[in-house]
Structure 1
Amino acid sequence: MQLGRNVLTRRTAAALLLGLAVAGCTPQPATDRPAPAAFNDTDTAWLQLMIPMDERASLLVDLAPTRAGRPALAGWAAGAERRLKDELVDLRALLEASGVPDTRPHEGHNMPGMVTLDTVRRARTVTGDNFDRLFTESLRAHLAQVRTLCASERRSGSAERAKDLAAAIERRAARQITRLDALR
């Protein structure tokens, strides 16, 4: 039985490293509080990546009502804002359930698909078509990366609650990309 567990541990570690490589980060040292057995390293890494990704996207989405040139894009952003807020509630609750503290190991990292603080600053200085272009490009990249991260979680995670949430987020992101593309 121990040999099987070691193989599983190596596979889990490999999946985590792959997920972090896709996200552009390096693994952080382990904390003093291990996660409950239902959550593996991939689950907690996914949660620790998704929370800052969605927080940054929220910063940009919050600007759309006053800066967007097209009312349809501002409407899409209003729906996206609600979904991001709900998603963040679910992600934070799941992180708490995992037993891993919210230590922000990726603070300050600009991961692929993450809305950068520079992008948010630029978005605050433009309106109309310039904002719309910056907004749609940034949010499309965010949503594409979210789908990639969620697919990795579904494949390599072990906590059913995390995998279920990842599947739901992945489906929503796909629908949002389709709607956003239709607004271009």
Structure 2
Amino acid sequence: MQLRRYVLTRRPVWVLLAALLVTGCSAQPVAGTPRAAAFNATDIAWIQLMIPMDERARLLTGLAPGRAGDPALVRFAERAAGRQEAELTRLRGLLALSAAPDTRPHEGHDMPGMVSADTLRRAGALSGEEFDRVFAAALRAHLAQSLLLCSGERASGGAGEARELAGELEEAGSEELALLDAARSGKS
């Protein structure tokens, strides 16, 4: 896990920028108070991407209590849902602090690590081990991409508050990934 964490934290900033360019997204300009000037384009892009990613992941974790076959996965999903809600609250607070508009530039995009609408539909129609497999794969992809994005924010973000939150989210995401793997150990 430490080697994986080293690789994830040493990726160049271009990973974040490339992800945004590939999807055709761009950060909204920062305007407003001098405090908002501390937020650069990387901060805004990171916040505006993490919010919809967490919103979609939260929709998936909300399905688990009624559909998962593995009680360990239900416990994991309930814990993950609480963390996602807390993350969303903090990310929305940062967005407000940055004075960037909540324009949802990533709305409707299915980017790497974002739980797709198709995955949500499929998961909503499944139960038991089939649901567990779809759920675990989608959450694993979400967490892995979130780690990459947080690493890019910590490396190139301008606002200390955003870089600090990215570090916290990166640490929590690494722990959650390990918990997900533990919950799924021995499962296919």
TM range (shorter): 0.7 to 0.9
Does the CA-based 8 Å contact 2:59-2:120 persist in structure 1?
A: yes
TM-score (ref. length: structure 1): 0.87
Question: What SS class does the counterpart of residue 37 from structure 1 fall into?
Answer: helix
8 Å CA contact retained: 1:20, 1:26: no
- Structure number with bigger Rg: 1
Cα distance in 2 between the residues matched to 1:132 and 1:139? 10
Q: How does 1:151-170 map to 2 (within 5 A)?
A: 151-170=151-170
Post-superposition Cα deviations, 1:11-47, rounded to whole Å, max 9, x if no partner, equal: xxx95x6513235422337458368211000000000
Q: Which moved more, 1:61-70 or 1:17-26?
A: 17-26
**CA RMSD in angstroms, aligned pairs only:** 1.8
- CA 1:66/1:29 → structure 2, altered by over 3 Å: closer, same or farther? closer
Partner letter of residue 26 of structure 1? G
* TM-score after normalising by structure 2: 0.85
Equivalent in the alignment of 1:55: 55
Identity rate, percent: 51
Q: Kindly tell me the number of residue pairs found equivalent between the two proteins.
A: 170
Q: Structure 2 stretches of 5 or more lacking a match? A: 1-11
2:25 aligned with 1:27, yes or no?
A: yes
Contact 1:43 1:153 in 2 (8 A): yes
Q: Quote the Cα distance in structure 1 between the aligned partners of 2:28 and 2:81.
A: 33
Task: Map 1:56-75 onto structure 2 (within 5 A).
Answer: 56-75=56-75
Where does the alignment leave 5 or more consecutive residues of structure 1 unmatched? Answer: 1-13
* Alignment check: 8 A CA contact 2:43 2:159 kept: yes
Kept after mapping to 1: 8 A contact 2:15/2:148: no
Deviation per CA, 1:131-165: give whole Å up to 9, x if none: 00000000000000000000000000010000000
Name the SS of the counterpart of 1:84 in structure 2: helix
The structural deviation recorded for 1:69 is: 0.2
Q: Does residue 79 of structure 1 match 2:68? A: no
Letter in 2 for 1:154: R
